[in-house]
A and B are shown apart, each in its own frame.
Chain A
């Protein structure tokens, strides 16, 4: 590229179409240098990586949104909504990129609203039902620490658009990880009840983290699964130490992987709710 700036054709179609997400009339014009796939990059792998990372973000955002009106404090509710919004933004960019390079020309809405749950490729940890606050803080810590480690490496990806999305996401994910880690420390080092629940959350969440540790969807773009997994382990140990918690012994991972489309029974209802308006009113605009 002769220009270091990466432009994405999000909502460029005209000055009067200044709405976003479902119903925006967003059309991907597939124009400009940014849409080309660089030589040596396998388009199918790039699309799969972008869509899977987009799915992780979208499903997490949807679970976080379930805390609205239900978080322990208003401040935490705002925080969780903002974290979800960051992830939703990452999903939009990743889906747009996936649709640009997979040959279908699908837009972000096609990925978010018009695929069935069986077509989602998110890791299963993100789709597990919302637990208590301790569960969701431990889950957020695991997800954000792992995703941050991936994005730090993807910022050097051979695809300039994925690299730009990742570089932007790094700054956001660092805040998400900080927020979750501080809560895990506060709960783990808190009352007897909060400590008990945080220990239970670790025991519930960590078996699902094995799937993250083995994930290689980002490996072709410089994000080695093993390195990201080690970064995640380091963060977990550091946080557990600060909280005075002992990490549970390594657990058996549940069979299957979300990346190969094997999901828990919890994904389909989540996706159904997420897509209900878009599917009931296809083509609606506001």
Chain B
């Protein structure tokens, strides 16, 4: 960590570093920064810190825990007034997951998302033909996999099975 010299600049750095250390409650191998839900950290001149976060899904039950962890980490870094704002626009997209985040997901057996469909392309078409993208198995790399359920343990993940190594695995959905 950088030395905590007094002044706004160092407060900003300390706040940023503290917020970026906080991990996701449901995917603890990822930080909130990796996941792209941490949208901004700002140390104010009066000593307060404003953190902006965005939910992955409207009903994400982990939002409260995220806010709590951010506040606790920033308090531990010496900031006494922490405001965590929930932001809705622009809506979160899996494209915001960092490269490091994608690597960590794969290392933990969760296939990272591909590119999300463009959000400004007009009405979302319903596609019923089986033309789905192949999701490679994060364990053995085989492309011979099938989707078991579009909704797994959480809204953001789907459940797949590898026909080669026979293992089930989760896939972080494109959204």
Contacts and interface: CB of A to CB of B under 8 A. Distances in A.
Contact of B123 (A8, A149, A178, A182): A149
Contacts of A78: 149, 151-153
B150 A18 contact: no
Contact of A8 (B83, B88, B159): B88
Contacts of B71: 15-16, 18
B115 interface: no
A239 B61 contact: no
Interface stretch (A82-90, A110-118, A203-211, A267-275): A82-90
Contacts of A160: 89
10 contacts: A8-B87, A11-B64, A18-B71, A75-B149, A93-B88, A164-B88, A167-B90, A175-B150, A177-B126, A239-B128
Given A90-B58, A152-B122, A178-B150, 14 more contacts: A5-B89, A7-B86, A7-B87, A15-B75, A18-B64, A20-B63, A79-B150, A79-B151, A87-B59, A160-B89, A168-B91, A170-B124, A175-B150, A239-B128
A165 B88 contact: yes
- Which 3 A-B pairs rank lowest in CB-CB distance, beginning with the nearest? A89-B59, A15-B71, A89-B58
A15 B126 contact: no
B150 A86 contact: no
A260 interface: no
Interface of B: 39, 52, 55, 57-61, 63-65, 67-68, 71-72, 75, 82-93, 119, 122-124, 126-128, 148-155, 159, 173, 175
A164 B151 contact: no
B65 A18 contact: yes
B61 A172 contact: no
B79 to A, nearest CB: 10
B89 A148 contact: no
Interface in A195-240: 231, 235, 238-239
A7 B150 contact: no
Interface of A: 4-12, 15-16, 18-20, 24, 75-76, 78-79, 81-83, 85-90, 92-93, 145, 148-149, 152, 160-161, 163-165, 167-172, 174-175, 177-179, 181-182, 185, 231, 235, 238-239, 242
A172 B90 CA distance: 15
Contacts of A20: 61, 63-64
B61 A85 contact: yes
A76 B149 contact: yes
A278 B128 CA distance: 42
A137 B149 CA distance: 15
A285 B77 CA distance: 29
Contacts of A175: 150-151, 173, 175
B123 A152 contact: yes
Contact of A167 (B85, B119, B155): B119
Given A5-B52, A179-B150, A75 B86 contact: no
A145, A172, A177, A235 interface centre (most CB from chain B within 10 Å): A172
A12 B91 contact: no
B126 A178 contact: yes
A231 B123 contact: yes
A165 B63 CA distance: 16
Contacts of A7: 52, 85-88
Contact of B58 (A24, A86, A178): A86
A168 B90 CA distance: 8
Given A5-B52, A75-B149, A169-B58, A12 B86 contact: yes
Contacts of A148: 124
Nearest to B88: A164
A93 B58 contact: yes
B59 A171 contact: no
